[in-house]
Amino acid sequence: MRLRRRSSPILLLLSFAVLVCTAQKPKNSDDGPPLPSAGPLATVLVRTPIYVYADAHAQMLARIQAGREMVVAETNGPWMRVFANTDAPTEDRRDAPMLGDNNHPVPVTGWLLAKNVLLATTANGDQVLMGQAAIMESLASDARGPRDAGQAARLLYQRLLEFYPDSPLAPEAAWRAADIRWQFDKADLAQLPSSKEKDAYLRESIDDSEMRKIMHTWPGSRQADLAAWEMLDNKVCGTWQGDPRCPAKEAGIYEDYASQHPKSPRVTEALYQAASRMAAVHDMEVAAGNDKQAAAAVKEVQGIEDFLIRNFPHSDYASRTAALVYKLQHGIVIYGTEAN
Q: Which is higher by pLDDT, 337 or 17?
A: 337
Residue-level pLDDT at 337: 55
Asked if 95 and 161 count as a contact pair (C-beta separation under 8 A), the reply is: no
Residue-level pLDDT at 193: 81
Distance, CA of 64 to CA of 152 (rounded, Å)? 10
Task: Judge whether 72 lies within some domain.
Answer: yes
Residue-level pLDDT at 194: 77
Distance, CA of 297 to CA of 269 (rounded, Å)? 19
Is the pLDDT score of 9 beyond 60?
A: no
Annotate 212-249 with DSSP letters as a single string.
HHHHHHSTTSHHHHHHHHHGGGGTS-S--TT-THHHHH
Q: Which is higher by pLDDT, 322 or 15?
A: 322
Task: Judge whether 183 lies within some domain.
Answer: no
Out of 121, 153, 172, pick the residue that ends a domain.
121
Is the pLDDT score of 105 beyond 70?
A: no
In the chain, what are the helix, strand and coil shares in percent, each to the nearest 5?
Answer: 50, 10, 40
Residue-level pLDDT at 23: 36
H-type alpha helices, 49-193: 125-140, 149-163, 170-189
Q: Which is higher by pLDDT, 288 or 142?
A: 288
Task: Judge whether 66 lies within some domain.
Answer: yes
pLDDT band (50, 70, 90) for residue 213: very high
Domain total of the chain: 2
> How much of the chain, in percent, has pLDDT values that exceed 70?
81
Is the pLDDT score of 45 beyond 70?
A: yes
Distance, CA of 282 to CA of 259 (rounded, Å)? 23
Nearest by Cα to 244 from 300, 305, 288: 288
Structural domain range at position 35: 10-121
Task: Judge whether 209 lies within some domain.
Answer: no
Q: Which residues, other chains included, contact 245 with Cβ-Cβ below 8 Å and sequence gap of 6+?
A: none
Task: Judge whether 127 lies within some domain.
Answer: no
Asked if 100 and 185 count as a contact pair (C-beta separation under 8 A), the reply is: no
Q: Exposure of 224 by Cβ count < 10 A (0-12 exposed, 13-18 middle, 19+ buried)?
A: buried
Q: Which residues, other chains included, contact 214 with Cβ-Cβ below 8 Å and sequence gap of 6+?
A: 171, 174, 175, 178, 223, 224, 227
Out of 121, 140, 171, pick the residue that ends a domain.
121
Mean pLDDT confidence for 29-57: 83
Mean pLDDT confidence for 61-65: 92
Identify residue 114 by its one-letter amino acid code. A
> CATH number, domain at 15?
2.30.30.40
Out of 121, 144, 162, pick the residue that ends a domain.
121
Is the pLDDT score of 184 beyond 90?
A: yes
Task: Judge whether 71 lies within some domain.
Answer: yes
Residue-level pLDDT at 143: 77
Task: Judge whether 281 lies within some domain.
Answer: yes
Task: Judge whether 219 lies within some domain.
Answer: no
Mean pLDDT score across all residues of the chain: 85
Residue-level pLDDT at 301: 97
